[in-house]
A and B are shown apart, each in its own frame.
Chain A
Amino acid sequence: MAYRTHVMACTGTGCVASGSFEVSRALEQEIAKAGLSSEVQVVRTGCQGFCAEGPIVVVQPDGVFYCGVKVKDAPLIAQEHLLKGRPVKRLMYTPPKEKAPVPALRDIPFFAKQQLLVLRNRGLIDPERIEDYVAVGGYTALAKALTEMTPAQIIEEIKRSGLRGRGGGGFPAGVKWETCAHAAKERGEEPVVICNADEGDPGAFMDRSIIECDPHAVIEGMIIGARAVGCREGFIYIRHEYPIARERLEKALAQCREYGLLGRNILGTDMRFDIRIVQGAGAFVCGESTALMASLEGKVGEPRAKYIHTVEYGYKNRPSNLNNVETWANVPLIVNRGAKWFGSMGTGDVSENPWNGSSGTKVFSLVGKINNTGLVEVPMGLTLREIIFDIGGGIPKGRRFKAVQTGGPSGGCLPDSLLDMPVDFDELTKVGSMMGSGGMIVMDDANCMVDVARHFIKFLQEESCGKCVPCREGLRQMGNILNRICAGEGQEGDIQLLEELADTVVNISLCALGGSAPNPVLSTIKYFRPEYEAHIKDHKCPGGQCKNLVTFWIDPAKCNGCLRCKKDCPQDCIRGELKQPHSIDLVACIKCGSCEDVCNQDAVVVR
């Protein structure tokens, strides 16, 4: 018998960490107990994007959206909603500003303002079933590319769509494909296609989610790419920290081989192609194309100078068509619905020249000081304000927005004066940041921008492969200076020294890691210079983060004498009696902040 209801349980990594596998199993058991097994099916989907509220369960066709579902809620959902048709209000999502729960997915602002292309199948299909992907039109683009289009026409279509590399560089994919096909033809050497799934930016999880919710979309894009450049061999380079994504890819590849979508005579034509998964060890630099290919070859993952591009001499010196996960996932859509349709979304007119704008959509992961942590897909050209405040739900705890870092650790931090800036490749570069792979880290007024810069320089310093001097030594020296400033030992002239060092590192590093590493320092100096000056000249940290520059103090007017902070203080340096204002012994205080964390009267002041 046909199912009347599908219970779509999110099993992306975020929800899995909150226990969604256990929840989906419990739901199945309860459904069986209620005798509904033949009417109600539990479908495990990829990430639905609203990670802040996981585990997520959506009941279709009712469209009822449940969040924060626990194993103990399963009997309630099965008995009340699935059996008796009474949706469980307690588990529905309530937006921060409203009082009444919102039951339907399409009524939640977080979802309502997004436009899903790459994530079109999230929450809709079971990523582990190829039948589900085919049912929503999967592999029709491949059929079209194989039977109705020549390789040159495919390349032309991608070029005219204006699709630019979603891994961060924003290089037009069609131009890259054309160069690859051309190099292969000229030298008579067979090219390879590679998918870069080595997503290394802290706080970024777009590519992982795309693979987890729709692995076949990436594979279909790669087969079409292989057809366009004429090759038989493909690789997916994925970091080993992504076990669920890798498992789903492996299953998807096995299904493709079984169905004849990989291997010899694909879809009954003469095309032959297969894909191999290669695991990276999680080095940040291996997301860089030349380092990635060195790692693919089994060598140490270090980049090389790029006066010869990998698209001509890449993996084993063969022409190599490397694109990021999100770029590949866009390809089937463009082939199916045409370059014109794709180019109509986003900014600029890209039909003649892909450099003229940014077409299509971009997936962003929203993290940091933001209410709706999660994964969003929006058309290019939306403003930062729309993404952070309308979709992201703004800053928690009534705090004030201070900065957003786009583009991962080597992106820039942008202040509130740029909130109304449209987000696309070129606009972000203009203001000293970058698109990167799409991470967005939001910071509020309790963040110290010098400390933020120091944190990212430390990360990049640790991830620098050490092959070239400016990146290896330059970042170390910049890190030392930032440490000094944060410790309250900053000197007159440190800002200029940082700028000078940054200029050297940017200009003479071998690869893009060094080339973009000083961005967090340069952008914070540019937009938050008074904070640097406050650290150096006044020995003050306006964000209250640099321990050497702040003191903790209890406001006697606010303190209600609850003894909480006193109990938690590891130094036993808080004095005070019940219902009497407390005070901190500043000599013994180690500024750990535990009193601030536990105080529910906001009486602990950091200044």
Chain B
Amino acid sequence: MPKLTIQDLQRMREQAKQTMNLRSQNARAKVTVHMGTCGISSGAREVMAALLAEIEGSGTTDVMVTTAGCAGLCSREPMATVELLGEAPVKYVDLTPAKMRKLFHLHVLGKKVVVEYALAVGSETTA
């Protein structure tokens, strides 16, 4: 490792920003991939992998990815929920890696709901 200069410090910090944001819980958008047994068997892992690859490829630092259990609609898996800060969550159904890539660019980055893949807006009512 060569000796650092002040510019190197700055560069190292920029590079690590994505990693560190993950630990600070200040995300602008949250994508939840539903990973119940039904989701996994119908390809949720591949959808997740595609999403992670897109996030890394785009250099985005403020999108948080989490997993959740079955959303209750097993026949429409793989499902994902996209929630932009301050907006209602949108549930997407019948996803594939290609659809996930598209909705990442259009919804997560472009802030436009992809109506043709979407199931519903909003959360379920809970007691």
Residues of A within 8 A of B (CB): 1-6, 8, 35, 39, 60-63, 82-86, 106, 124, 131-132, 134-137, 139-140, 143, 146-147, 258-261, 265, 267-268
Cβ of B122 under 8 Å from chain A: no
Question: Known contacts A131-B12, A267-B6, A268-B5; is A8 also within 8 Å of B23 by CB?
Answer: yes
Binds A, one of B50-58, B92-100, B107-115: B50-58
Pick the contact of B4: A2, A4, A63, A267 (CB < 8 A): A267
B3 lies within 8 A of A61 (CB):
no
Tell me the smallest distance from the CB of A262 to a CB of chain B, in Å: 11
Cβ of B34 under 8 Å from chain A: yes
Tell me the smallest distance from the CB of B28 to a CB of chain A, in Å: 12
Query: Please, which residues of chain B bring their CB within 8 A of the CB of A260?
Result: 2-4
What are 11 A-to-B residue pairs whose CB atoms are below 8 Å? A2-B52, A5-B66, A61-B66, A132-B20, A134-B9, A143-B6, A258-B1, A259-B4, A260-B2, A260-B4, A267-B4
**Whole-angstrom distance between the alpha carbons of A579 and B13 in the complex?**
70
What 9 A-B pairs are tightest by C-beta distance, nearest first? A260-B3, A85-B67, A135-B16, A85-B68, A2-B56, A4-B65, A61-B64, A268-B5, A143-B6
Residues of B within 8 A of A (CB): 1-6, 9, 12-13, 15-25, 27, 32-37, 40, 45, 48-49, 52-53, 55-56, 64-69
Query: Please, which residues of chain B bring their CB within 8 A of the CB of A4?
Result: 22, 48, 52, 65-66
> Taking CB as reference atom, which chain B residue is nearest A140?
B9
B6 lies within 8 A of A39 (CB):
no
11 A-B pairs besides A61-B64, A137-B13, A259-B1 with CB distance below 8 A are A1-B52, A5-B22, A61-B22, A85-B35, A85-B66, A86-B69, A124-B20, A124-B23, A259-B3, A260-B3, A268-B3
**Whole-angstrom distance between the alpha carbons of A273 and B18 in the complex?**
33
Interface SS of B by simple majority = helix
> Taking CB as reference atom, which chain B residue is nearest A45?
B23
**Whole-angstrom distance between the alpha carbons of A63 and B27 in the complex?**
12
B52 lies within 8 A of A61 (CB):
no
Number of A-B contacts (CB under 8 A): 105
Query: Please, which residues of chain B bring their CB within 8 A of the CB of A268?
Result: 3-6
Question: Known contacts A134-B12, A135-B16, A143-B6; is A2 also within 8 Å of B55 by CB?
Answer: yes
Pick the contact of B66: A35, A62, A131, A139 (CB < 8 A): A62
Query: Please, which residues of chain B bring their CB within 8 A of the CB of A35?
Result: 45
Query: Please, which residues of chain A bring their CB within 8 A of the CB of B67?
Result: 82-85
Query: Please, which residues of chain B bring their CB within 8 A of the CB of A39?
Result: 48-49, 52
A61 lies within 8 A of B23 (CB):
yes
**Whole-angstrom distance between the alpha carbons of A137 and B16 in the complex?**
10
**Whole-angstrom distance between the alpha carbons of A267 and B3 in the complex?**
7
> Taking CB as reference atom, which chain B residue is nearest A255?
B1
Tell me the smallest distance from the CB of A71 to a CB of chain B, in Å: 23
> Taking CB as reference atom, which chain B residue is nearest A1?
B52
**Whole-angstrom distance between the alpha carbons of A281 and B17 in the complex?**
41
Question: Known contacts A259-B3, A259-B4; is A3 also within 8 Å of B53 by CB?
Answer: no
**Whole-angstrom distance between the alpha carbons of A260 and B68 in the complex?**
45
Query: Please, which residues of chain B bring their CB within 8 A of the CB of A134?
Result: 9, 12-13, 16
Query: Please, which residues of chain B bring their CB within 8 A of the CB of A139?
Result: 9
B3 lies within 8 A of A6 (CB):
no
B20 lies within 8 A of A3 (CB):
no
Query: Please, which residues of chain A bring their CB within 8 A of the CB of B45?
Result: 35
**Whole-angstrom distance between the alpha carbons of A39 and B65 in the complex?**
10
> Taking CB as reference atom, which chain B residue is nearest A259?
B4
**Whole-angstrom distance between the alpha carbons of A83 and B39 in the complex?**
11
Query: Please, which residues of chain A bring their CB within 8 A of the CB of B34?
Result: 85
A1 lies within 8 A of B56 (CB):
yes
Q: B1, B17, B37 — which one has the most chain A CB atoms within 10 A of its CB?
A: B1
A84 lies within 8 A of B36 (CB):
yes
Query: Please, which residues of chain B bring their CB within 8 A of the CB of A267?
Result: 4-6, 9
**Whole-angstrom distance between the alpha carbons of A140 and B55 in the complex?**
28
Tell me the smallest distance from the CB of B41 to a CB of chain A, in Å: 12
Pick the contact of A60: B5, B9, B22 (CB < 8 A): B22
